[in-house]
A and B are shown apart, each in its own frame.
Chain A
Amino acid sequence: MRDSLAVIWSIGRKDLLLELRNKDVVVAVAGFALLVLVIFTFSLNLTPDIAKLVGPGVLWAAVAFAGVTGLNRAFALEVEGNTLEALMLAPISRDLIFLGKALGNFLFITVALVVVLPVFAVLFNLVVFRWEMLAISLLTAIGFSSVGTLFAAMSVRVRAREVMLPLLFLPVVTPLIMAAVESTSHVVNGRSWSDMSQWLQLAAAFDVVFIVVSAFVFQHILED
């Protein structure tokens, strides 16, 4: 168990090291999401009520679309240098490769959220810095990274991968986006944990199911 965790951490840490040098993924995700937020801020007549109504939807739609851009890039790096095959040569089970790559993507999305959330709070003039928001963000980032890693691996060898990934990813994460939007809506309206518990439970269940399913399917995707 400790060995497996060390391998997962090694792969995640390697992705983080490469990202610190290239800044490909975080800049793409955070930059894209910030642009969407700014465009919506100027295009909507944001009264406090409208901000509370549309803000959560704009935030998570922006993060979901931006996430696709970053996930595409994160896996393309492994294929361009054929390094995915180098990972496959190692005497580790394939699901550890999945979990390591998903950990890397989780870290990227989390860093991007750290950049995006304060800007969202300022532009929409909403209070989002609450523990509930931390829980929502983490659950959503886990779900995005597990589903995204699987579909990025599936689409990376396809010629039209930039089109394929959003087509696969966005329909599947729709329940997670709904849970994130509804929970964030409760947060910006100052409601308590109990009001949003069903949405948080939905997000947690989604994460558990997709981590297990994705880890299983990923091994078969790697073989041929």
Chain B
Amino acid sequence: MVSTAIQPAIDARKVVKNFGETAVLRGLDLSLPPGEVTVLLGSNGAGKSTLLRILAMLTQADSGSVSIYGVDLAEDGPAARGLTGSVLHSPMLYADMTGRENLMFFASLYRLQNIDELIARTAAQVGIESTLDDRVRTLSHGFQKRVALARALMHDPRLLLLDEPESGLDSQSVSRLDDVIDEYRKAGRTVVMTTHIVEHGLEIADRAVVLSGGVVGLESSSPGQDRAVILAAYSLSPEQGPWQGPAA
């Protein structure tokens, strides 16, 4: 029998992550369909960045399972990482290499072909053509973030993970980032991003997920309409536990 069910882009089940005595994720379940832009919301310490780091395979869950497009992270890490592009808090670039040298180096790790052409195309996409041959150390934080975005896009990943991507960016860079996200959505790819600029997040997202108390407190597939409820759930601190729904 052929299954007609759509394979989720992300399927996380009973994910637990503790840092010492502090429980950050407490049995989180999350299934996200492909081809959507999902914004992860939550107050500081809600576990958004931890969840993204687990998805990017920079940290391991203490228990539970996570798969990306059906590939279990624990079973085939390299394959799962090949499906994913990530821009996390820090640009993670070699400061004494130029943007082009950084991209060439990472392209070789991703075993990409036609690297020069690929770099030219991605650089144009994120608007770094003019600074590509400058050492990263000399670039502004905004341009460093753009180079990091180019690195994440170079291998055309099916899932793009962005952790507060707009932090430190000027309005022009944020607008370009929105364009990239929109192009990704149109190409049927999946984007999962965290943000503290909630209004902006709700504006560009197809789906909003609010983390509270280490689990999914609220999930909405129409964030524009559910704005008030999402904002109420977002304002909960981690100590207040999961969202229990609107007060009667």
A interface with B by C-beta (< 8 Å): 3, 6-7, 10-11, 14, 17-18, 21-22, 81-83, 85-93, 223-224
Contacts and interface: CB of A to CB of B under 8 A. Distances in A.
B78 A81 contact: no
Given A83-B92, A83-B94, A223 B86 contact: no
B90 A18 contact: no
20 contacts: A7-B109, A10-B105, A11-B109, A14-B105, A18-B94, A18-B96, A18-B97, A81-B90, A82-B90, A82-B92, A83-B93, A83-B94, A86-B93, A87-B109, A89-B57, A89-B86, A90-B110, A91-B82, A91-B109, A93-B77
Contact of A7 (B84, B92, B93, B111): B111
Contacts of A87: 109
B10 to A, nearest CB: 16
Contacts, number: 66
A198 to B, nearest CB: 41
Contacts of B86: 89
Contacts of A88: 57-58
A18 to B, nearest CB: 6
B206 interface: no
Nearest to B80: A91
B97 A10 contact: no
B101 A17 contact: yes
Contacts of B106: 86, 90
B78 A92 contact: yes
Given A81-B92, A85-B58, A85-B88, 7 more contacts: A7-B108, A14-B94, A14-B97, A87-B109, A88-B58, A90-B81, A90-B106
Nearest to B135: A21
A3 B60 CA distance: 26
Contacts of B58: 85, 88-89
A223 B59 contact: yes
Contacts of B92: 81-83, 85-86, 89
Contacts of B97: 14, 17-18
A11 B111 CA distance: 13
Nearest to B57: A88
Nearest to A19: B96
B23 interface: no
Nearest to B136: A81
B151 interface: yes
A223 B60 contact: yes
B32 interface: no
A61 to B, nearest CB: 32
Nearest to A4: B111
B78 A91 contact: yes
Interface string B171-185: 000000000000000
B56 interface: yes
A97 to B, nearest CB: 9
A10 B111 CA distance: 10
B79 interface: yes
